[in-house]
């Protein structure tokens, strides 16, 4: 069994005691073998002096297939953004462009210290995303987008209900649990507006039967909420609850517009909310009631959403923005740095049902870690509390090294499983072709 020694770092464990430990961290195989002892050796050594070591970030709402759309869908509200830009571009995807998009997204995630993501892909070519996750060493729970309803949907994205279910189950059977458990499947109906009741009910039932997550969007935008309410007579979350899309295995991205009753439903059903502050701001969707959700005890974790609406996939931006937004609404004491870092790590792992293995640095857990160098101009002088530095001052380019499943994916900012310049070049070529096919050039 090979070993990695991360030497002389400040280890922010995010365990139950919130321990901060100075010393070495030893990885044996895919797991953490010891924390804080000194004088050990490893087959590979990462020098972490002057660095903090944190559990890798867990982003619970990402669209890898949209990374190529960065900068091509700006300054629109949700429904226009979908109909005029995102759906035509998703419809124009080929296997090659999806793979290029996933590589670019995963490269960006790794470079910013994210080690695990819950992703919703497009209707077609989701197998390509799984292959890229497998080859890159990244950890992800991936779902094929499901869409069997809606107007102005390009024909390439219009599905027959039974086909959508069959293709999803086929991907589940092919990929769930692969690569030492690093790869998992989730059902990913796009949102209530894009799916028939029949599809949602089948997804609700199948997810329970198969023991996999459901990942969807909910109550992001007022127009969307009105569309669902006028069709179903129910508030969005009440409708999702009725069709079986609530529970501790369900992640609802956004939840910006919630009634008191809907918050109660989320709490009672232990449904996970994914807060995407940058995306909500850029699409002008509103500000999610995160302080209230946290106070009530609803699970809230963080995601960058896609590059089409953010335009970065950077957890530092999301932590900081999440904290600042709630302070603007409720005062500076609300959502302190430590809570933001929990949302970005262990709370994301809990939402994905992976907290027994990842989300904190503990002996026996999987080695999913990020090593961050503090001490640059923007992180000096060193804060007495390193968590403050991580949440409020640090940025993605401060991440030096990243380990997933006991394998080094980036060392001293060099990606080891992806060729960075090739990833960028391929993204440029595929984006030009894709925009041409979508008629957006
Ligand atoms: Zn999204």
Distance from Cα 254 to the centre of ligand 1, integer Å: 8
Single out the residue of 340, 350, 361, 335 nearest to residue 20, CA to CA. 361
Distance from Cα 382 to the centre of ligand 1, integer Å: 36
Distance from Cα 393 to the centre of ligand 1, integer Å: 26
Distance from Cα 371 to the centre of ligand 1, integer Å: 28
CB-based burial, 126-145: b 16+ in 10 Å, e otherwise: bbbbbbbbeebbbbbbbbbb
Q: What is the pTM of this model?
A: 0.98
Distance from Cα 279 to the centre of ligand 1, integer Å: 8
Distance from Cα 69 to the centre of ligand 1, integer Å: 13
Distance from Cα 132 to the centre of ligand 1, integer Å: 20
Q: Which residues pair with 188 in a beta bridge?
A: 145
Single out the residue of 150, 139, 132 nearest to residue 192, CA to CA. 150
CB-based burial, 376-386: b 16+ in 10 Å, e otherwise: eeebeeebeeb
Distance from Cα 170 to the centre of ligand 1, integer Å: 23
Q: Token digits for 132?
A: 């890229």
* Cα dihedral across residues 377, 420, 188, 210: positive or negative: negative
Distance from Cα 22 to the centre of ligand 1, integer Å: 38
Distance from Cα 358 to the centre of ligand 1, integer Å: 23
Distance from Cα 305 to the centre of ligand 1, integer Å: 5
Which residues have CB atoms below 5 A from the ion given as ligand 1?
305
Distance from Cα 387 to the centre of ligand 1, integer Å: 28
Q: What is the pLDDT along the chain (441 residues), one digit of tens a residue?
A: 899 999 999 999 999 999 999 999 999 999 999 999 888 899 999 999 999 999 999 999 999 999 999 999 999 998 999 999 999 999 999 999 999 999 999 999 999 999 999 999 999 999 999 999 999 999 999 999 999 999 899 999 999 999 999 999 999 999 999 999 999 999 999 999 999 999 999 999 999 999 999 999 999 999 999 999 999 999 999 999 999 999 999 999 999 999 999 999 999 999 999 999 999 999 999 999 999 999 999 999 999 999 999 999 999 999 999 999 999 999 999 999 999 999 999 999 999 999 999 999 999 999 999 999 999 999 999 878 999 999 999 999 999 999 999 999 999 999 999 999 999 999 999 999 999 999 997
Distance from Cα 120 to the centre of ligand 1, integer Å: 7
Which residues 6+ apart lie within 8 Å of 7 measured at CB?
Answer: 24, 45, 46, 47, 48, 49
Count CA atoms within 13 Å of residue 184 on its CB side: 23
């Amino acid at each position: 069994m090979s070993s990695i020694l991360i030497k002389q770092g400040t280890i922010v464990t995010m365990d139950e005691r919130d321990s901060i430990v100075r010393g070495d961290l030893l990885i044996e195989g895919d797991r953490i073998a010891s924390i804080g002892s000194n004088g050990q050796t490893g087959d590979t050594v990462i020098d972490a002096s002057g660095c903090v070591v944190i559990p890798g970030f867990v982003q619970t709402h990402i669209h890898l297939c949209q990374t190529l759309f960065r900068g091509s869908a700006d300054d629109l509200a949700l429904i226009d953004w979908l109909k005029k830009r995102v759906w035509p571009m998703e419809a124009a995807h080929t296997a090659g462009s999806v793979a290029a998009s996933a590589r670019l997204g995963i490269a960006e995630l790794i470079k910013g210290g994210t080690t695990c993501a819950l992703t919703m892909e497009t209707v077609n070519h989701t197998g390509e995303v799984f292959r890229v996750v497998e080859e890159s060493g990244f950890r992800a729970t991936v779902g094929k987008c499901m869409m069997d309803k809606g107007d102005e949907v390009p024909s390439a994205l219009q599905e027959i209900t039974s086909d959508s279910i069959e293709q999803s189950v086929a991907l589940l059977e092919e990929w769930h649990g692969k690569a030492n458990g690093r790869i998992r499947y989730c059902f990913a109906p796009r949102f209530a507006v894009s799916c028939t009741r029949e599809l949602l009910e089948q997804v609700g039932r199948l997810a329970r039967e198969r023991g996999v997550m459901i990942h969807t969007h909910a109550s992001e935008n007022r127009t969307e909420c009105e569309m669902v309410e006028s069709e179903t007579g129910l508030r969005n979350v009440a409708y999702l609850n009725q069709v079986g899309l609530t529970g501790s295995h369900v992640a609802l991205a956004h939840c910006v517009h919630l009634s008191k009753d809907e918050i109660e439903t989320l709490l009672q059903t232990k449904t996970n909310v994914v807060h995407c502050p940058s995306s909500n701001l850029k699409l002008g969707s509103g500000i999610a009631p995160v302080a209230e959700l946290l106070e009530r005890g609803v699970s809230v974790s963080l995601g960058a959403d896609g590059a089409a609406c953010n335009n970065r996939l950077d957890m530092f931006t999301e932590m900081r923005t999440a904290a600042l937004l709630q302070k603007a609404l409720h005062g500076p004491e609300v959502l302190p740095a430590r809570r933001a870092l929990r949302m970005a790590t262990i709370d994301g792992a809990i939402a994905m049902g992976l907290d027994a293995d990842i989300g904190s640095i503990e002996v026996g857990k999987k080695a999913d870690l990020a090593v961050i160098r503090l001490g640059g101009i923007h992180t000096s002088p060193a804060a007495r509390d390193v968590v403050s530095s991580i949440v409020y001052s640090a940025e993605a380019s401060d991440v030096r090294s990243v380990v997933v499943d006991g394998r080094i994916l980036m060392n001293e900012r060099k990606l080891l499983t992806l060729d960075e310049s090739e990833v960028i070049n391929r993204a440029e070529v595929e984006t030009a072709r894709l925009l041409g096919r979508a008629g957006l050039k």
